[in-house]
Structure 1
Amino acid sequence: MATILQADTRPKIPDEIAQIVVSPKSYASDDVIYPALKWLRENMPLGVAEVEGYDSIWLVSKYADIRKIELEAKQFHSGDHNAVLTSQAGDAFTRSINGGSLRVISSLTYMDAPEHAAFRSVTSGWFLPGRIAKLEQQIRVLARQSVDHLLSFDGECDFMQDFALHYPLRVIMSLFGVPSEDEPQMLKLTQEFFGVHDPEEQRPEMVNDPVAAAKMWYASLQDFYSYFDDLSAERRRNPTDDLLSVIANSSVNGQPIPREEANGYYVAIATAGHDTTSSTAAGGMHGMATFPGQFDMVKADPALISPMIDEALRWACPVKHFMRSSVSDTVVREQTVYAQDRLMLCYPSGNRDEEVFSDSDTFDLRRSSAKHVAFGFGPHMCLGQHLAKLEMRILFEELMPHLESVELAGNPKLVETNFVGGYKKLPIRFKKK
């Protein structure tokens, strides 16, 4: 049974604001979602959203509260309910095909201690900064190939579709061990996996289906599992030096990693491992092209590339939310949160919190953005963050010396999603140096 919050005793968010923040469609327009999040921060930073078709949930909009909840992982669990906000009908469908469980994928996202630490340790060493740094030259070769492709355009292109979408995919798949000829399949499945609410990404047979999102997510997972079952078996027979071999041949608590947990790892790396990076890279270019002087600052001082990437993570924020459930009664921002109450951590809001980031709607390299919440906090902090930042730093180090100027050549287009996603299109006009 879904928890019914006692909304009559706690602040209820106005219906219009609640619907905007919960609706996937709102995130396709910065002019819609960010004013609503700003209203929450200023008027009801922690309140109950009651949206038809969804469980009653707390919307957490302030940076400090998001950080507190993520750091207090013993109090606020990820795996007791769905870690992703889904409609009640969608959750019911998931239970119906999953033995009553909402854990549709056995990934780190759905795990709590001690299970989470045990499975995170499978790859945590592989993603350490020192280990990742050794990949720089390998990644730089791929970056130069991508830059050459961009420069082949005659001064105008779609930065997302023609450039940013493919480079992180090539990087993560080459490190992961997926054959290059299978990359289009991985890209298609990723877009379906994260674009379950977007009409342009939905599978034709699921358009207008009231539980299309849940069905599409499940269908994408089955396609991923079918693909990785064969590849995983091959890596167990013939291990190589790739990340897939590390996972396929790992042990947890003295036993070989189970199929479901291995597939959970594969899917997480094959999706979030490139989608969020491509969206952040596009966000960096969007910010530099939109706010005067930012592009020129990076051109004049390559040392600003790393701060620019942190600012892009803050400003574009590809991960929109994760859910948490309170284990027992507790207090957050002077409000009583009861056991089993669900909380939606609104990361784009935390990254625009004026108490932490002044003039927060502006893309500004001079601010200190490294404390952004785009990678989360605590035990669930993004495992691949060092790889993602290395990829983007190398990409812009290779790209910027070849560009004299950049401007938008049309309006950006964003994915309709309240979970993970960013740019569909980013048309730019550029002059080569």
Structure 2
Amino acid sequence: MSTPTMDDAAKVLADPTAYADDQRLHAALRHLRAHNPVALVDNPPYRPFWAITKHEDIMAIERANDLFLSEPRPLLSTAQADDLAKAQLEAGMGLRTLIHMDDPHHRKVRAIGADWFRPKAMRDLKVRVDELAKRYVDRMRDIGPECDFVTEIAVNFPLYVIMSLLGLPEEDFGRMHSLTQEMFGGDDDEYKRGTTPEEQMAVLLDFFSYFSALTASRRANPTDDLASAIANGTVDGEPLSDVDTASYYVIVASAGHDTTKDAISGGLLALIENPGEMQRLKDDPGLMGTAVEEMIRWSTPVKEFMRTAAEDTTVRGVPIAKGESVYLAYVSANRDEDIFDEPFRFDVGRDPNKHLSFGYGVHFCLGAALARMEMNSLFTELLPRLESIELAGPPELSATTFVGGLKHLPIRYQLR
């Protein structure tokens, strides 16, 4: 077996600021893929973990979901935050979403919302999504010739879609957006509510307070929306627990729009920085499907998930002991030279495109089809009307180790 080694390059994965610096991040990941693809990371205040940076290894771990478990450490957070989250769960107040669960419970809980994201449901929703895409491109025209594309367009379009699917009132959309920013932006100076895990946990309690009232309302008066499906969902004939119900809302309401925002804004920046590819897509709209996949690969909104070994095992010959955690670096897998031809070239016609931005296996993203449809609709509406576009200032990435992307994208443009 290989001997585990420490590698300073791997410490970037436990440094939220590294994700706000693409060059620094990808330089470290290139090194790890080539020289230390299973790297031990011991970088307080995080507990130690093994960084897995090769596409092949990440897929193998995702397939072995009985060996590598989501519980108790589904994502990277500080030891103090891990301990607080565990205590909150034990007190019946914590977060336990689909990403925290393992089968068979995961499969049963996932089924409650699955029908709302199947192909038929997406076909039924497409007319509404196309209407909203036109609304937001019209808005972009009206507020031009400059805007911050992230805050004005990329946030609001998918937020409106997912909130409408849930059946939430429009006056609450802003609150959901602010809470999402605070939850995913806990490491970012612009977004975070406070500096301590207790202050950041208050964000979760705000979510729970809102969704507890929503659950009571939908159970008393069911309606034809996703919120009612969650509120009245059952597992083995029993209603979901309060924690699981509120957590289901949280993951749908937050990840359901924020990850799409990151892919939309990251995709537009890639087109601006690669004008030949933008023109290629304008000239051949039939490439929109592959272009959307490339935008998703390029931006990789979900940077990682973690798994914990249920038994002693090995990854690429490196021993992983029972109870040790592995960090699945999707952002690295999506630039793996062994999988992608010229992985650092943005190619709107890339095919095949085996990106892992939606995960893989039993935890494949529930809302993947919706995200793809939203992006397709928005860029199909935008590009034919776009006469010119350029940066009006430096783009800014969020500091995060989990979900993130551009938080500001100032652009100057002309739209028909």
TM-score by length of 1: 0.93
2:90 corresponds to: 99
SS at match of 1:134: helix
Q: Which runs of 5+ in 2 are unaligned?
A: none
Deviates more, 1:356-365 or 1:337-346: 356-365
- Does residue 179 of structure 2 align to residue 156 of structure 1? no
| Count of equivalent residues | 416
**Whole-Å Cα distance in 2 between the matches of residues 320 and 432 of structure 1?**
33
- Does residue 27 of structure 2 align to residue 35 of structure 1? yes
- Does residue 37 of structure 2 align to residue 54 of structure 1? no
SS at match of 2:116: coil
1:176 corresponds to: 166
2:279 corresponds to: 296
- Does residue 59 of structure 2 align to residue 67 of structure 1? yes
The residue type paired with residue 38 of structure 2 is L
**Whole-Å Cα distance in 1 between the matches of residues 324 and 302 of structure 2?**
22
SS at match of 1:293: helix
Q: Is the 8 A contact 1:310 1:369 kept in 2?
A: no
Q: Is the 8 A contact 1:411 1:426 kept in 2?
A: yes
Q: Closer, same or farther in 2 for the Cα pair 1:100/1:56, shift >3 Å? A: farther
2:345 corresponds to: 362
- Does residue 71 of structure 2 align to residue 88 of structure 1? no
Q: Is the 8 A contact 2:7 2:40 kept in 1?
A: no
Q: Which of 112, 119, 128 does residue 129 from structure 1 map onto?
A: 119
The Cα of 1:10 is off from its aligned counterpart by 3.1
Q: Is the 8 A contact 1:10 1:48 kept in 2?
A: no
TM-score by length of 2: 0.96
The residue type paired with residue 424 of structure 1 is K
SS at match of 1:48: strand
The residue type paired with residue 231 of structure 2 is A
- Does residue 4 of structure 2 align to residue 11 of structure 1? yes
Q: Write the mapping of 1:244-393 to structure 2, written as runs, cut at 5 A.
A: 244-368=227-351, 370-393=353-376
Q: Is the 8 A contact 1:295 1:405 kept in 2?
A: no
- Does residue 214 of structure 2 align to residue 231 of structure 1? yes
SS at match of 1:305: helix
Q: Closer, same or farther in 2 for the Cα pair 1:322/1:100, shift >3 Å? A: farther
Q: Write the mapping of 1:177-216 to structure 2, written as runs, cut at 5 A.
A: 177-203=167-193, 206-207=194-195, 212=196, 214-216=197-199
Q: Closer, same or farther in 2 for the Cα pair 1:93/1:235, shift >3 Å? A: closer
Q: Closer, same or farther in 2 for the Cα pair 1:9/1:350, shift >3 Å? A: closer
**Cα deviations by residue, 1:41-83 (Å, 9 ceiling, x for unpaired):** 011011211113222210000000111101110110001x221
Q: Is the 8 A contact 1:10 1:47 kept in 2?
A: no
Q: Is the 8 A contact 1:311 1:369 kept in 2?
A: no
The Cα of 1:370 is off from its aligned counterpart by 3.5
1:4 corresponds to: none
Q: Which runs of 5+ in 1 are unaligned?
A: 1-7
The Cα of 1:232 is off from its aligned counterpart by 1.4
The Cα of 1:93 is off from its aligned counterpart by 3.0
Q: Is the 8 A contact 2:2 2:317 kept in 1?
A: no
- Does residue 389 of structure 2 align to residue 406 of structure 1? yes
Q: Is the 8 A contact 1:202 1:216 kept in 2?
A: no
- Aligned Cα RMSD in Å? 1.7
SS at match of 2:117: coil
